[in-house]
Amino acid sequence: MDQFEEACRRLKITLFVNPPKCPEMNGGVERLNRTSREEFYEVEDLALVTEELSQQIEVWEHTYNYIRPHETLDYLTPNEYYRRWKKIQKSQVLRMS
C-alpha cells in the first residue's frame, strides 16, 4: 500500500481511501463490481490474450468514467462529477481566504 500511495503522490493522482473497518463505505466499490460484471464481463466477447483483454478493460474504464452517466451522480459521468466537486472545493477555499 505504501508503494501505491507513493506512486499516486508522485503522479499527482488524488487518492480516495476508505477508512479501516468501515464496510458500509464499500458500497460504491461493490456497485462498480456489479456494473462491470453486468455491462462488460457478461456482454463483451473477451480476449483470451492478456494484452488484448487489458485494452478492452481500458476502453470499458474510459466509457464508465467519461461517457456513461451515473444515476447516483445526478446523471453525470464520474469525471464530470469530480470536476464539479473540485470546482466547488476551490471556490470554498477562495471564500475562506
In this prediction, residue 57 carries a pLDDT of: 97
Per DSSP, helices labelled H in the chain are: 2-10, 27-36, 50-62, 78-96
Residue ranges of domains in the chain: 46-97
In this prediction, residue 37 carries a pLDDT of: 96
pLDDT band for position 92 (cuts 50, 70, 90): confident
* Closest to 84 measured CA to CA, from 70, 62, 61, 33: 70
Backbone φ and ψ of 76, nearest 5°: -100, 160
pTM higher than 0.85 for the full model? no
In this prediction, residue 24 carries a pLDDT of: 80
In this prediction, residue 76 carries a pLDDT of: 97
Longest CA–CA span in the chain (Å) reads 55
pLDDT tens per residue across span 18-77: 888 877 878 888 888 999 999 999 999 999 999 999 999 999 999 999 999 999 999 999
In this prediction, residue 46 carries a pLDDT of: 97
* Closest to 58 measured CA to CA, from 69, 73, 47, 70: 47
d(CA 34, CA 16): 20
In this prediction, residue 3 carries a pLDDT of: 94
